[in-house]
Every structure is written in C-alpha cells, then in structure tokens.
A and B are shown apart, each in its own frame.
Chain A
Amino acid sequence: MLRSLLTIDGLVARTRPAWGWLGQVALCWLGAHLAADTLDDLLGGWLAGCGIAWPEPEQPLIAGTWAAVVIELVVAGWVLWVRSRSLDQLRTAKEWTRRWSIRAIVAPVAFGVFGLAGAWVLAMAVEDGLAPLWPAVAGPAGTVTGLVIAARLAVPGAWRTVVGTPVPRRRWDGALAAAPVLLLTVLAARHGLPVWGWLP
C-alpha cells in the first residue's frame, strides 16, 4: 500500500516540470491581488487630487479602481512571462552576477513577497472553510497549510527566478515593468503579510 503510494508519488513528481509553474504563478497572482485591493483607494484619492478637471466628481474614484485593475493585470502578465523565462539552472553565484539585470533583481523579491502573501490568502481560506465544521482544528490547519504552501510553492517560486535567470540583452532589462511590479510588491509586503501587528 505504502509502496504503491510512493511509486505514484514519484511518477507524479516526475511530471512536475509540466505543472509546477502553474501553482507558483497562481500563488503570485493571489498575492498581487491582495496588494491591488489596497491600491484602488490610493489611486482614486491621488487622481482626485492631482489637478485633472474631472467632468463628474465621481470619476476619479472609478478611474482609480480601473487603474488598479490594469496594474494588477499587467503585473499578472509579467509574473507569467518571467516564470516562463526562468528555466535555466545556474550553479554558482558568479554565473548569476554575470547575468544580472533589473529583472534579475526585481523578480525574486516580487515572487517572494507575492508568494508569501498568496500563502497567507490560502491559510485564511482553509481556516474559514474548516471553521464551521471543525472550529478547534481550523486555525492550526490554516497555519500549517500556509506554511507548507510557503515552503513548497512560494519560496521555490522565488528561488526559481534566481537560478533560472536568463541571459539579459541589456542590464536595463525589466526596467519598464519594475514600476508597477514594485508598487504592488511594496503594498503586498505592507498589507498582505501577517507580521506587522507583531512589530512594536
């Protein structure tokens, strides 16, 4: 029984290159959305105060939400693109330094933060799902799920963008996408990680 389970486990593991990326990318999208959800109000307030003559007073707030949608979709596309181009297997730090570019620095930070925020989204979802059925177990089960997802998907996803760094055409590669990506990364770090309440 255990032996056949291990065999199946090994077979599934061998197919991981075909679908492993999917979980990492979807996790980053969840984390990026948690950040974008705090961005719409910020943008709406900024658009209202930036001096544009809006024909209708409600428009800056609606425009802010749509701008947040666009930024989230751009970042989601960027995550998928970066992950699809992180397939190399660097062995030494020296190999990485020869390949550094803006993308090579931004990608691991963004994947790490988005992935961890996404893991927390899943931890909360599991806790909420179990709470009506099994209240005593819901909290610990959520925490364990979050930690396992962080260990198996979030951290490996970020690490993949390091060891998979492609050869850049220019050192400036990734500069264009860096602004929206870093904006959501900062928001995900500030509003999407359950650590700030413990800090003094």
Chain B
Amino acid sequence: MSVIREALYEQGSSRRRSAPSGRSPRWGLLDLCLTLLVVAAMITRTPTGGLLTYGWERLRGHSADLPTLTAWFSSGAAAPPAEILDALPAPLPAVPDALPEPWRTATHSSLANRIPHPLRDRLKAEGQPVDAEHALLAIDELFRQTEDPTLALEQAALGSDAVTRAVGRAAAAGEDEPQRFESHRRFLSASAADEADRFVGGTVALATVLDLAWPLQVEHRVTSPYGERMHPTLKVRKFHDGVDLSVPIGTEIHAAQAGKLAVVGKGGASGNYVVMDHGFGVRTSYCHLSETPLARGTEVERGDVIALSGNTGRSTGPHLHYGVRIAGKTVDPERFRVTKP
C-alpha cells in the first residue's frame, strides 16, 4: 500500500517533493523504467507518437515524411499484392473436405507469393518441404479443425496461441463474437495485426473479389468502361472509377457479394446510392438508383436484391454505375466479372 500512497502524493508535484511522512522519495528506478516502457509504446502505437517522431526528426535536421495519421486506424483492410491482382489466379480443382472455394484458390495464390513464418516453422518441424502446395495442405488441416476459413488463415499466419490470446482479450472487453477477426484484431500485437492484415486480409479480400456476382441479371450494355474518359456531362477528361451499365429505371440490383449496407445515401453527383462493405476492405458501390428500400446496416447475402436502378444525380440516361474497391483503391469491375448475364 505504501507504494501506491507514495505515488499518489509524490509524482510530478513540483511543489512538494517528499511524502507526507517526511521520508525521502523512493521507487525512482521503477517509475523511470515504467515511464520509458509507456513512452516507447506510445511512440509506436499512436498517431500522436507518429507526429512527435516526425517533429523530432525535423528538429534534428533529418528529412522525414509526415506520417499518414489514418494508418493507425486500419481495420484489417490490406490489398492483395499488386502482382496477384494484375494476374488473377485460375480456380484450382475442387478438393473435398478442404478449404472451400474461392478461399482455396486465393490462399494458394497468396502462399505462392509468400509463406508466413509460423507456417514455415510448422512445415519445417513436421519435416515437410516449405512450398505453397504443402503450406496449403497445412491450412486445409487447420480448416478441418476450425471449420472457419478466416480463422484457419489467421492461425496459419500468426500461430494458434496469438489468436487465442486476442480472442480472450476481446471476450474480456465484452466485444460481440470475439472469435471474429474484426472483433479481436484490435487486441493483436502491432506486428501480428500487420501480418494478419497482409496474409488474412489480403487473402480473404482476394477470395471475396474472385467470387463477385454481377449486379445485373438482365440483358444490358456497358455504356462506359472503367478508366480515363471524356466525362459525358462535364466535357472534361476524368477518371471513371467504375462501369456504367445501361438498364431501364426500376431494374433489380443484386448484391455482388454477402455483406452489409455501409452507406445508403441521397443526393450529389451519385444520386441515390448504396455502398456495400464485404469485409477486409472490399467495398462495392451502386449509384444513380431510383429506390433504396434497405436501411444502412442491413446484412444481405450474395445476389440479394438491394435496390432498383434509376437516373438520379449527375446522369445522362437510366443506368447503373457499379464500382469495386479493394483497400480503398478502385479496380475495374469487369475484370472480376465471373457471372455473365
């Protein structure tokens, strides 16, 4: 108790330097160590620490880049490596009692790019060759134990103990469904969270986009593709971050993938629009709609009707503007078109 009492009376007071009892102050080394520990953690783990590091480097005359302050707020979204997105993998043949598709194809593609350390160690310990094929079989085995593709990938990337600790902490903090990656990601160590974002986030995002349904199930034309174009109403060159699909007003719009309606908005250039969040940084958007009957936050399945097409906002005729984003970056939706109308 005296430790606490002393701390309460002494710490940081510039006016009074000794405890009320008159004894000389103690525990200086303990407090100094704790302070150094806390400051070190603060510098790496908070945007404030990032700004202080930047200021310190500039004061010393070193060149430093202003940190991206939102980087400390990542939520499991990491784009798959560019080389994978540039050359999308062909689907693997189906294997019974293994990781289901499209996770298996996406996982194999990630593993061919890089095998996480705990998985390397596991393969070495079992005397197996360290290659993508054997790593994939090891993840199949983890899937048979967990029956959850995301959890199997996370255990492969971080080791089971780190995942168990994070799930326990999320449960202690009273989070809903602590075993979900999104619920316990905050409770992983900084390096584990980065690794999980890269491997789990990148792989699941890839699996999600490899399996996107097309939002229209009726005959239609692509009136304006993705990419640089002359804007139809503004008459200036502008990057078109989605595809325009010409359909009559009132055509049913289908969810490209299971997920949550993250934004149901009205007005502006997009007219009535819906943004869907499919998890792990994959979002799809649907603009110029006539009706948006579902409320923000509604969970829907792949292919469910989420809205009716229209001609609202800055639009030259009835059409659907459909966009896909991976970790904040737009991609060409037609590259991920697996279900032809």
Residues of A within 8 A of B (CB): 5-6, 8-17, 19-24, 26-27, 29-30, 32-34, 36-38, 40-41, 44-45, 48-49, 51, 53-58, 60-62, 65-66, 68-69, 72-73, 76, 83, 87-89, 118, 121-122, 124-125, 127-129, 131, 135, 145, 148-149, 151-153, 155-157, 159-160, 163-164, 190-199
Contacts and interface: CB of A to CB of B under 8 A. Distances in A.
B3 interface: yes
A135 B159 CA distance: 13
A10 B11 contact: no
Contacts of A51: 266
Given A33-B46, A61-B263, A16 B73 contact: no
Given A30-B42, A159-B8, A14 B14 contact: no
B285 A58 contact: yes
Contacts of A9: 26-30
Interface of B: 3-4, 7-8, 10-17, 24-32, 34-35, 37-39, 41-42, 45-49, 51, 69-70, 72-73, 75, 161-162, 165, 169, 171-175, 186-189, 192, 262-270, 273-275, 283, 285, 287, 296-297, 323, 325, 328
A88 B46 contact: no
B106 to A, nearest CB: 24
Given A24-B12, A87-B14, A124-B169, A30 B41 contact: yes
B16 A14 contact: no
A155 B265 CA distance: 45
A22 B285 contact: no
A67 B192 CA distance: 26
Given A69-B47, A156-B7, A199-B174, A34 B263 contact: no
Given A72-B48, A156-B11, A160-B11, A19 B32 contact: yes
Of A16, A65, A88, A89, chain B has the most CB atoms within 10 Å of the CB of A16
Contact of A57 (B24, B28, B189, B270): B270
Classify the secondary structure of A's interface with B: helix
10 nearest CB pairs, A to B: A196-B174, A13-B28, A12-B28, A53-B267, A23-B35, A128-B189, A13-B25, A194-B172, A53-B268, A20-B12
A122 B49 CA distance: 15
Nearest to B171: A197
A49 B296 contact: yes
23 contacts: A9-B29, A13-B10, A20-B12, A21-B11, A26-B38, A27-B38, A38-B186, A45-B262, A55-B268, A57-B265, A58-B283, A73-B47, A76-B46, A128-B192, A151-B3, A152-B31, A153-B34, A155-B7, A160-B12, A191-B173, A192-B173, A193-B173, A197-B174
Nearest to A148: B34
